[in-house]
Amino acid sequence: MLDPATCETDARCTPIWGSTIDVDDDGDTCVDYGAAIPVGCMDAEELCTPSVEIASAPGPDGEDLDGVAECMVFVSGCIPYMWEFCSGEDLPLGECSED
């Protein structure tokens, strides 16, 4: 499995892009979809059903991570290998404002 930076330069691979979830002081959330970063890699021939998924990387030493701030949003329907889905059914995923 290639790291995300190498994945971008290899025609056999497709990066998996994730967007961070911003949480303000009031606990309100938004997503900066325009600032997605490559966080995983998959085979270029692999297909995912387009959907919005919310997932987090595994914690150190298998530790469970807690909180929305640890999660990222994936609009491709794919999440990186070993990442786990976050519970976010009621999580507003609106675009962050520019201010």
Q: Is residue 90 situated within a structural domain?
A: no
The encoded tokens of residue 92 equal 């507003």
Whether the predicted pLDDT of 18 surpasses 70? yes
Question: Residues of the chain with pLDDT > 70: what percent?
Answer: 82
Query: By residue range, what is the domain housing residue 77?
Result: 4-85
Count of domains in the chain?
A: 1
Q: Is residue 94 situated within a structural domain?
A: no
Contacts of 37 (CB under 8 A, 6+ apart): 4, 17, 18, 19, 20
Q: Is residue 78 situated within a structural domain?
A: yes
Question: Residues of the chain with pLDDT > 90: what percent?
Answer: 24
The encoded tokens of residue 56 equal 């987090």
* Residues 47-94: tens digit of each pLDDT: 888 888 999 887 766 555 555 567 899 998 999 988 988 876 566 678
Q: Is residue 64 situated within a structural domain?
A: yes
The encoded tokens of residue 6 equal 């190498």
Q: Is residue 91 situated within a structural domain?
A: no
Q: Is residue 92 situated within a structural domain?
A: no
Average pLDDT rounded to a whole number, residues 33-54: 90
- The per-residue pLDDT for 85 is 87
How far is 51 from 83, CA to CA, in rounded Å? Answer: 16
Average pLDDT rounded to a whole number, residues 17-31: 85
